[in-house]
Amino acid sequence: VELFNAEELNSFGSFGIKLKPVDEMKRMWLIRAESEDEQNQWIEVFMNACKRSQPEPQSDEVYSEAFRCAYRVTRASYGYFGVFSIIGTESEMLEQLTYAVLNREILDDHIAVTSTNQTSPVKKKNVSTQVRSTVHKIVKPIVKSTWTAALDTALSMQKS
């Protein structure tokens, strides 16, 4: 939850609130209040909602802990060290990690080479946005379906 910056104030007016998702590829919401008091009330509501929103936890704590451990090790193997937050479902976390690795390992270099032919900074940004958006749209369903299948298999093996 953020206030409008100067450019957004000029474009959309006063008393604006920006709802920015953790995942930069998801939609950002711009909301305008009628007064500063109303703006502050909405900020409080949105901040409270953000603090309270949690994905439904995995019902089996062993699987949850195994996921967190494997996720930590996988992050480290790709050079992402340090503290991380559990934000979203397991498949959303894997999706974000996969996308981050693809960005760093492949897309950044590919976009740099592809956009060298573009003379305009706007065109370079458009190329970058288009490539990243396309890859993100491909990664999401692949990671989600793979995670769901792996979890279903593990749970079915536990029952037998």
CB atoms within 10 A of CB 143: 20
Tell which residue, 158, 157, 99, has the closest CA to residue 131: 99
Contact 97, 80 (CB under 8 A): yes
**What is the tens place of the pLDDT at every residue in 118-160?**
667 788 778 888 888 888 889 989 999 999 998 889 888 877 6
Q: Which residue has the higher pLDDT, 23 or 13?
A: 13
Tell which residue, 1, 151, 20, has the closest CA to residue 89: 151
Torsion of CA 153, 154, 159, 160, to 10 degrees: 70
What is the mean predicted confidence (pLDDT) over 39-51?
88
- Residues contacting residue 97 through CB under 8 Å, at least 6 positions apart: 71, 74, 75, 78, 80
What distance in Å separates the CA atoms of residue 147 and residue 151, rounded to the nearest whole number? 6
Question: 29: helix, coil or strand?
Answer: strand
What distance in Å separates the CA atoms of residue 106 and residue 93, rounded to the nearest whole number? 20
**What is the tens place of the pLDDT at every residue in 50-94?**
777 766 666 678 888 888 899 999 999 998 887 777 777 888 889
pLDDT at 54: 67
pLDDT at 56: 67
Question: 108: helix, coil or strand?
Answer: helix
Q: Whole-prediction pTM value?
A: 0.65
pLDDT at 141: 92
Looking at the predicted structure, is the pLDDT value of residue 26 above 70? yes
Looking at the predicted structure, is the pLDDT value of residue 105 above 80? yes
pLDDT at 28: 84
pLDDT at 52: 72
Question: Which tokens in the block code for residue 131?
Answer: 């490539």
Contact 25, 102 (CB under 8 A): no
Tell which residue, 34, 144, 63, 66, has the closest CA to residue 98: 144
